[in-house]
Structure 1
Amino acid sequence: MGLEARQAALRTLDGVLREKRMLAHLPGDTRLSPADQARAARLASLVLRHLGPLDACIAPYLDRKPPLPALMILRLAAAELLVAGEDAHGVVDSAVTLAKRGKGTARMAGMVNAVLRKLAVEGPDRFAHEAPQRLPGWIAGPVKKRWGAETLRAIEAAHLPLPPIDLTLKPGAAPDLPGATRLPTGSLRLPAGTQVTALPGYDTGAFWVQDAAAALPVRLLGDVAGLRVLDLCAAPGGKTLQLSALGADVTALDLSPSRMARVEQNLARTGLSATRVTGDALDHDAPAYDAILLDAPCTATGTIRRHPDLPHVKPWTEVEPLTRLQMQLIDHALGLLKPGGRLVFCTCSLLPVEGEFQVTAALKRHEGLRVIPADAPALGGDSAWHSPEGGLRLRPDLWPDLGGIDGFYMACLTRP
């Protein structure tokens, strides 16, 4: 039972760990039933969230590291045994069958059987003492330097559970969503795994999926009703929808035609409107805007709890070109802003170089530029979110009793 889902999970893990491709870029297997597709995704995610501890539990039972296909089978079965707590007999039999199916793993079926039988008996105690999956050094280093080792470990622990699903409601909408809780910031939170498209109100556009952290930057702009607002790097469109719903005259700009198509789909479903422009943000030229929202391209290290593949795929070499692009985008956006207008700069990153440091550097580059201090409690947040330069810093270890929140940085800039 479940062999096809497990086989699909192995293909997914191969795409991430060997080919270094993000989950979102891997093709789906249309031969599988929706239930098997969902199970395969859950299994792959389980392995990626616990890869280091799983390997540490498997290693004592190996004389030497096996070839990657056999190791993948062991990792998958270990995740089912040690994390999901599945029945040992079924997991071991399935893993052995998968090994026998593979051309390069058939001769290792006996080893797989022996290792997993030992792991089923001795592994749970060993796994319970393993530390959470560690972040790679290029993420862990800056996080530890900024907030300390204790916060780093808390962030790593916050990446382990499946995250809940947050919704932003269209003003006036009040769908009946069983199991939903209202967060202090106003977002609705649903349990992990909720099928959003089946919820009442989805087809009529009463809400859209948007992490509670991602819903805050628009609120830093204040009252936008009747204002010309530019949403730079707009896809997939959550902030565009917010701005339109609040009465702004929105221009949504994104470089990717496929991602802009998602913005169009979301606008159509919710019955909201925006001017849509596909092109390079650095080439955009238009009459000055009253306000600009710049959700800049970044390493997305604040979203690892939603994208456990990211630390296994993203290289540290992306940081420098992204920070250079962010600097250029801030400078260009300021050139598109009316005097006295507001620019909100934000990134879904844990790295200060993509957040706090960018704002501090912009203040030095642009005479008269200042930060409008954010008021976290007024937004439903906590004063601990305040950053020294006046922005907000959110981390995955915050709100542990509410289910956590994505890592995000945001600041509102203005100049006379």
Structure 2
Amino acid sequence: MTDTTLAARGVALDLLRDVLRKSVPFDDAFDAHPDLAGLEPRDRGFVRMLVATVLRRLGQIDELIQTCLAKPGLPKAAIHDMLRLGTAQLVFLNTPPHAAVDTAVELAALRNAAPYKGLINAVLRRVGREGAALAAQQDAGRLNTPDWMWLSWRTAYGTAKARGIVEAHLHEAPLDLTVKSDPSVWAGRLDATVLPTGTLRRMSGGSVTEMPGFDAGGWWVQDLAASLPATLFGDLRGKRVFDLCAAPGGKTAQLAAQGARVVALDRSAKRLERVTENLARLNLEAEIITTDAAAWEPGELADAVLLDAPCSATGAVRRHPDILRVKTPEDIGKLAKAQGRLLAHAVGLVKPGGTLIYCTCSIQPEEGEAQITRLLARDSRVKRWPITADELGGLSEIITERGEVRSLPGMLAEHGGIDGFFVSRLRRVYE
């Protein structure tokens, strides 16, 4: 085996520790690891895929390891993580058994865990022999989902839809792109399918930056669900629009591409740097302001306000499986309070007759439907403006009886699925 092979596994081990023991978001841990720059692109891609697979299949992997241990009980954390990486390769990534086992054993030696080499070898060899058959008998979706999430989704949506959510999480999401214009032309160039809303969809994989049109700014990466809110304002040409909590900037780009005069706000100057970079690549313009949107007072009210509020992101597990491992029930309560403050303030930023759209990439009702119910009960300045399926390419499955968007992983299977999202459109009434 090569030094780079072991180096890649070592990075993966570090990243798994950061996510599972320090609750660091996977993307943040990945970007910050000092050894990644020294790996070839292929090895970096392998690291990302390996760690994401462990995070996505953690419940299954741990049950397989427990089954294949000679004695009950799990080894100490670092050894457990080595076994997790090896099991993911053997059962879910089709890595040749000798490569997965040998690299795990060598990694133990490099990480001062030589006394555990025999244990790692024995467990992984048994996983290699029996793992696939054992995995086929597991309740994969349920095993990989924390109890509190499963119970919250079953309570909110019923057992059948909750089952659809957790089974959708077993698979990596496709790559969705928003184009500035001519979706059918770009679909041909990018080997993509045009979805009913105009989003392009292609299988994930490969380097995004090397795809046709990236450098020219013809498109940007954005999930189908995330692309919907900015399309629901109507004609925005020449209108003043506030994009609150704007980073990473996909919706800012959409609004600017529609001809709006966009003011994009976010508390994080670092995250806004990415918004600025993306707008420059796309040859689009927006005014960028670093501030707390819950306290910001503009000199002039907006014709339209988009509040994509910070949330638990439980609707985006297909793309970010670390959410299953780092989010807690306590996070939901804290986020819901922050969302309520942002939403209450956002109402006062819209001109009478203007439009406010509230959205989150969460499938927790506390972060979606409940926020709008509370707002309408206490603030007579806004009324719900129902969204119709005709506005979304006929995607009636994701429209609720109240005229809000509630998409769930597992929906739109005929189109390749969708992330979980909530969208409500409100109109500021004349007082």
Shift of 1:108: 1.1
Select the residue among 59, 64, 79 that pairs with 2:88: 79
Q: Distance in 1 between matches of 2:15 and 2:246?
A: 29
User: Could you tell me which residue of structure 1 aligns to residue 327 of structure 2?
Assistant: 314
Shift of 1:182: 0.9
Shift of 1:25: 1.9
Matched, 1:338 2:351: yes
Q: Distance in 1 between matches of 2:324 and 2:139?
A: 17
State the secondary structure of the residue aligned to 2:303.
strand
| Residues 234-289 of structure 1 deviation map (CA, whole Å, 9 limit, x = unaligned) | 11111111111111111111111011111111111111111111111022112111
| Residues 367-411 of structure 1 deviation map (CA, whole Å, 9 limit, x = unaligned) | 252211111243124222122332110111112233221110001
State the secondary structure of the residue aligned to 1:89.
helix
Task: Please tell me the residue identity of whatever aligns with 1:229.
Answer: V
Does the 8 Å contact 1:302/1:350 carry over to 2?
Answer: yes
Shift of 1:414: 0.9
Task: Please tell me the residue identity of whatever aligns with 1:53.
Answer: Q
Shift of 1:23: 1.1
Select the residue among 146, 159, 164 that pairs with 2:169: 159
State the secondary structure of the residue aligned to 2:304.
strand
Q: Distance in 2 between matches of 1:4 and 1:307?
A: 24
User: Could you tell me which residue of structure 1 aligns to residue 146 of structure 2?
Assistant: 136
Q: Distance in 2 between matches of 1:378 and 1:296?
A: 22
Task: Please tell me the residue identity of whatever aligns with 1:296.
Answer: A
Does the 8 Å contact 2:389/2:399 carry over to 1?
Answer: yes
User: Could you tell me which residue of structure 1 aligns to residue 420 of structure 2?
Assistant: 407
User: Could you tell me which residue of structure 1 aligns to residue 295 of structure 2?
Assistant: 283
Choose 373-382 or 168-177, whichever is displaced more.
168-177
Closer, same or farther: CA 258–31 of 1 in aligned 2, 3 Å: same
Does the 8 Å contact 2:245/2:267 carry over to 1?
Answer: yes
Does the 8 Å contact 2:311/2:335 carry over to 1?
Answer: yes
Choose 213-222 or 362-371, whichever is displaced more.
362-371
Matched, 1:363 2:363: no
Task: Please tell me the residue identity of whatever aligns with 2:273.
Answer: A
Closer, same or farther: CA 178–72 of 1 in aligned 2, 3 Å: same
Matched, 1:195 2:207: yes
Task: Please tell me the residue identity of whatever aligns with 2:275.
Answer: V
Matched, 1:213 2:216: no
State the secondary structure of the residue aligned to 2:189.
coil
Q: Distance in 1 between matches of 2:419 and 2:205?
A: 17
Matched, 1:237 2:246: no
Matched, 1:52 2:59: yes
Task: Please tell me the residue identity of whatever aligns with 2:25.
Answer: M
Does the 8 Å contact 1:356/1:389 carry over to 2?
Answer: no
Matched, 1:17 2:27: no
CA RMSD of aligned residues (A): 1.5
State the secondary structure of the residue aligned to 1:177.
helix
Select the residue among 131, 134, 137 that pairs with 1:123: 131
Task: Please tell me the residue identity of whatever aligns with 2:424.
Answer: A
Select the residue among 225, 248, 268 that pairs with 1:256: 268
State the secondary structure of the residue aligned to 1:115.
helix
Q: Distance in 1 between matches of 2:266 and 2:87?
A: 42
Task: Please tell me the residue identity of whatever aligns with 1:13.
Answer: L
User: Could you tell me which residue of structure 1 aligns to residue 40 of structure 2?
Assistant: 33
Q: TM-score if structure 1 supplies the norm length?
A: 0.96
- Percent of aligned positions with the same letter in both sequences? 43
State the secondary structure of the residue aligned to 1:281.
coil
Choose 8-17 or 61-70, whichever is displaced more.
61-70
Map residues 319-398 of structure 1 onto 2, 5 A cutoff.
Answer: 319-367=332-380, 369-398=382-411
Does the 8 Å contact 2:397/2:411 carry over to 1?
Answer: no
Does the 8 Å contact 2:350/2:428 carry over to 1?
Answer: no
Q: Distance in 1 between matches of 2:120 and 2:334?
A: 43
Q: Distance in 1 between matches of 2:61 and 2:147?
A: 19
Does the 8 Å contact 1:165/1:194 carry over to 2?
Answer: no
Q: Distance in 1 between matches of 2:261 and 2:280?
A: 16
Q: TM-score if structure 2 supplies the norm length?
A: 0.93
Q: Distance in 1 between matches of 2:403 and 2:384?
A: 6
Task: Please tell me the residue identity of whatever aligns with 1:394.
Answer: S
Q: Distance in 2 between matches of 1:185 and 1:172?
A: 13
Q: Distance in 2 between matches of 1:406 and 1:307?
A: 11
Does the 8 Å contact 1:300/1:349 carry over to 2?
Answer: yes
Task: Please tell me the residue identity of whatever aligns with 2:409.
Answer: P
Shift of 1:339: 0.7
Does the 8 Å contact 1:342/1:412 carry over to 2?
Answer: yes
Task: Please tell me the residue identity of whatever aligns with 2:204.
Answer: A
| Residues 287-335 of structure 1 deviation map (CA, whole Å, 9 limit, x = unaligned) | 1111100001111111111111112112221212211111111111111
State the secondary structure of the residue aligned to 1:251.
strand
Task: Please tell me the residue identity of whatever aligns with 1:380.
Answer: G
Does the 8 Å contact 2:360/2:367 carry over to 1?
Answer: yes
Task: Please tell me the residue identity of whatever aligns with 1:244.
Answer: A
State the secondary structure of the residue aligned to 1:388.
coil
Does the 8 Å contact 1:356/1:387 carry over to 2?
Answer: no
Choose 307-316 or 256-265, whichever is displaced more.
307-316
Task: Please tell me the residue identity of whatever aligns with 2:222.
Answer: Q
User: Could you tell me which residue of structure 2 aligns to residue 61 of structure 1?
Assistant: 68
Matched, 1:3 2:10: no
